[in-house]
A and B are shown apart, each in its own frame.
Chain A
């Protein structure tokens, strides 16, 4: 149990650093947003689960679940608005209009 918690906590820390590294290296705001919001939240999920394994009492459990729940519920909204703002700011309107339709129609 302790070993799993250790692995999860360290994995979360490493993922967080990789996410921040992605924000430094990826070429434009939309790509960076992938790294920041998704990898960051995934890292926090690992950290929260690891913390729960270390302290498996109810008081900890519901607080950690609440943190994760809030993050997961709010992330798509924030990410959606941020993506639109980034598109607006980078002036990608033409690319949006010409975006190709991929994949076949669902049955």
Chain B
């Protein structure tokens, strides 16, 4: 089936996301550390994720945690919501967009809509 390509694609997108947002996090730290620099605008937000099994949601949460700049605080399976702490909240749409585009398609192929969800 198309599971193996999906898994490989997911892994590659994940690695790219880690590198890109790693650079962004470093920039934020350096900006905030300069004398007279501003601390980043942090935010606690909820993001709704696509229907998937509990295992898929746990993997999604772990990937979001591993990506610099966002940490999963809680996963709500009932309402399918991810509670995130975002380090740079000046562009929240980009964060959501990144999760949607990078992680969800692959995870939906691998874990989407199982009976346990």
Contact = CB atoms under 8 A, between A and B. Distances in A.
**A/B contact in complex, CB under 8 angstroms:** yes
Interface of A: 15, 18-19, 21-22, 24-28, 30-31, 33-35, 38-39, 41-42, 72, 75-77, 79-80, 83-84, 87, 92, 95-96, 99-103, 105-107
A18 B30 CA distance: 8
Contact of A25 (B26, B33, B92): B33
A99 B74 CA distance: 12
Contact of A26 (B39, B61, B66, B81): B39
A99 B65 contact: no
A74 to B, nearest CB: 10
B7 interface: no
Contacts, number: 121
A26 B46 contact: no
B57 interface: no
A35 B28 CA distance: 10
A38 to B, nearest CB: 4
A72 B72 contact: no
A102 B92 contact: yes
B96 to A, nearest CB: 4
B49 A21 contact: no
B100 interface: yes
Interface string B35-53: 0010110101111111000
Contact of A102 (B33, B46, B85): B46
Nearest to A99: B44
12 contacts: A21-B29, A26-B29, A27-B42, A30-B71, A31-B40, A39-B26, A79-B65, A79-B71, A80-B72, A84-B74, A101-B46, A105-B48
Contacts of B85: 30, 34, 83
Contacts of B72: 76, 79-80, 83
